[in-house]
Chains A and B, each alone.
Chain A
Amino acid sequence: MIRIAMVGLGKMGLSHHAIVNAHPGVKVVAACDSSGYLTDVLARHTGLKCHAELKPMLAQEQLDAVVVSTPSRLHASMVEKAIARGLHVFCEKPFVLDVRDGERLVSQVEQRRLVNQVGYHYRFVGAYQEAARVVASGALGTVHHVRAEAYGPVVLRPKGSTWRTAKNEGGGALYDYACHAVDLVNYLVGPPAAVGGVALNRVFSRDVEDEVYCSLYFPGGATGQLAVNWSDESFRKMSTKVTVWGSNGRVSADRQECQIYLREPHPQLPGVERGWTVRYTTDLTPPVWFYLRGEEYSAQIDYFVKSIEQGRLDGQNTFRSALQADRIVSMILAQAQGAPAPASATARASEPAGARGILARLFG
């Protein structure tokens, strides 16, 4: 039985907690979160042992691993404390905000031979895995262009008061949405060597970007484009799509399906014919033991648990792999800083009056 503690019980933390807790090979020993509200409720209704801070929890509990789902700016220091205790670590994405922190942590986990994984759950979605398989087979011929897009309805009005909308805490569409798209690019074709033409636009937010656009330049001469907008209400939820073009065809994947077009069949990709082949989530998704929000969330936790059981250190979504995405993000930021300050895409609407209501004022 692997003993795990949950670090951070926000939206992702709670979701991970439910999945980890349902895993037959794991015991959730304790959790910590600075919100006494939530830990009180959980302690009272589930008997979970809760701590307000990480340090005492690490000192008091007998643990094998931690799942870190705190706001992004806290990842580096918390992960480092866990490593120092010899614990295996699953960390939510993005891994770190400062690439130097990430490099230090990579060398620490590798030296200590600890299992390390970052929550890029798209790598556990059947359709993206299929796209990666198609690209890796070489069936597309010479890859010359990649497009990664992510759209969704996160920030739809000039308001917002969480760390996700605070620039120095790892908020903004770049860290929240774009890093997923960047990681998919890295997964499918490897990381770009340079970025250019960066636009970080605000639509509604005051402090952070709501849109991210840039070009990607790959070592072999291929190019790519990144297009991200978390202020698009026409999407019901986050929607991420990646397309790879090669001299012999293209592959396009989102969470639901993988569409392949081959000009000529390829010996490395048996069963895929000339023209269109479409494969669906329903066929590509292996079952999981517990389902909460999508098979991929459960699959990545199970993968982490199995890595610990098997001593697998070179698996999917290692710190080293996730740091590649952080590097691209920091390249995008560096480019943006060289460019003029982002212009406001729309005139700022005035604050909606009384949006928080009397309740919030009474108890806020």
Chain B
Amino acid sequence: MDRVLFGDNQFFGVNHMSEEKARAQAMRFQDLQAVIDVLDAAYREGIRTFMCTTHDRVAEICEHFRAHREKYPDYRFYPCMPYAHKYANAVTEYGMIDALRRFLPDEGALGAMMKGGVALAAKDVRAIIGLLVDAEMKMFQGLSTPVIFVQNVITDLLLGLGMHDALRFFAEHVRERYDAEPGFITMNTPRLLDALDAQGIDNPIVCSNINRLGFRMCGGIEAYEHAIATRRFRPVAMSVLASGAISPREAIEYVCAQPKIESIVFGASSAGNIRQTKQLIDQLSVAG
């Protein structure tokens, strides 16, 4: 994994501090070109990985990168699935099982259709997870996706329910079908590491909030620091700026001072902010 990954919250109206700011961003990035311009600015700073949710609009971004391969020969996507609100809204509208049905393949080959139906009827969780992953991965066809993440709302739901084997089913499917490394986004890293260990998932990629404030680091900042220092996993730090609550230099100093953090994901909307953050990470990573 690269040291710096580019995130996508800013493109889809996600901001943990302000709904007004989130809406202003949603307006600005309604135009695909505005999104591409920012990704291009990040590319010029040497950022080659886009870590993005499987929001419907990411399909348009993928289309652009497929159409301009020559311009981005070394570009990689790290899909994060699913875009949870899509599922949550469908569950409210259709109920749990009907919603699930709607996300399983219902087009194309009769075989795929039957596979979905049979998996559902047999309550075959492993097969259902495989089919759901495949449905989300469709938009990335032909693009490089060396790491595939499951979003924290799913990781942590399975973690809380104690349905830990489902995390392994995800990992196995992603490895076998996409030759990709599975990644797990979570708000509960220490607890998740125990569950992944018990499932025999060795040295997992785990992406979670890591910031000096301890914001959304469940189990506490000390438990995180201890886990990073002592446990075998590949940490990816997100929300390092705690949505802007900490100054960039302080924020990145803290993350870079932690041993073993492989990658830092951040999102930004202006070329200036991208350059500043990227340079800070490069500079403080060398120093650390």
Contacts and interface: CB of A to CB of B under 8 A. Distances in A.
Interface of A: 10-11, 14-15, 17-19, 21-22, 35, 37-38, 40-42, 44-48, 153-155, 159-162, 164-165, 236-237, 239, 241, 254-257, 280-283, 285, 287-293, 295, 356-360, 362-364
Given A292-B153, A359-B104, A162 B161 contact: no
B161 A256 contact: no
B218 A359 contact: no
Nearest to B246: A282
A22 B160 contact: yes
Contacts of B102: 356-357, 360
A362 B187 CA distance: 39
B245 A45 contact: no
A282 B117 contact: no
B3 interface: no
B19 A363 contact: no
Contacts of B94: 160-162
A10 B99 CA distance: 12
A291 B106 contact: no
Given A164-B93, A292-B153, A363-B101, 15 more contacts: A10-B95, A11-B88, A18-B156, A22-B188, A38-B96, A46-B161, A155-B93, A160-B94, A254-B19, A281-B17, A290-B156, A290-B191, A360-B101, A363-B117, A364-B101
Interface in B210-264: 213-220, 242-243, 245
Contact of A282 (B85, B91, B156, B213): B213
Nearest to A23: B160
A359 B17 contact: no
Given A256-B16, A290-B188, A363-B117, A10 B156 contact: no
A351 to B, nearest CB: 14
A310 B220 CA distance: 24
A287 B17 contact: no
B24 interface: no
Contacts of B217: 287
A11 to B, nearest CB: 5
B156 A292 contact: yes
A241 B19 CA distance: 10
Interface residues of B, number: 56
Interface stretch (B34-42, B62-70, B120-128, B196-204): B120-128
Contact of A287 (B101, B166, B218): B218
Contacts of B16: 256, 281-282
Interface stretch (B7-15, B173-181, B269-277, B278-286): B7-15
B88 A291 contact: no
Nearest to A355: B102
Identify which of B15, B26, B93, B245 gathers the most chain A CB atoms within 10 Å of its CB: B93
Contacts of B60: none
Nearest to B116: A359
Contacts of B288: none
B1 interface: no
B32 interface: no
A282 B89 contact: no
Nearest to B107: A357
**The 7 residue pairs across chains A and B that have the minimum distance between CB atoms:** A18-B160, A291-B187, A357-B106, A46-B162, A282-B245, A162-B95, A22-B160
Given A291-B187, A363-B120, A37 B97 contact: yes
A340 B97 CA distance: 37
29 contacts: A18-B157, A18-B159, A19-B160, A22-B159, A22-B160, A22-B188, A38-B96, A45-B166, A46-B163, A48-B162, A153-B85, A161-B94, A161-B98, A236-B26, A256-B16, A257-B18, A282-B213, A282-B245, A287-B216, A287-B220, A290-B156, A290-B160, A292-B153, A295-B216, A357-B102, A358-B106, A359-B113, A362-B117, A363-B120
A17 B89 contact: no
A196 B104 CA distance: 46
B13 A162 contact: no
A268 to B, nearest CB: 27
A283 B95 CA distance: 36
B160 A45 contact: no
Given A159-B93, A363-B120, A45 B157 contact: no
A162 B216 CA distance: 33
Given A21-B160, A41-B125, A280 B17 contact: yes
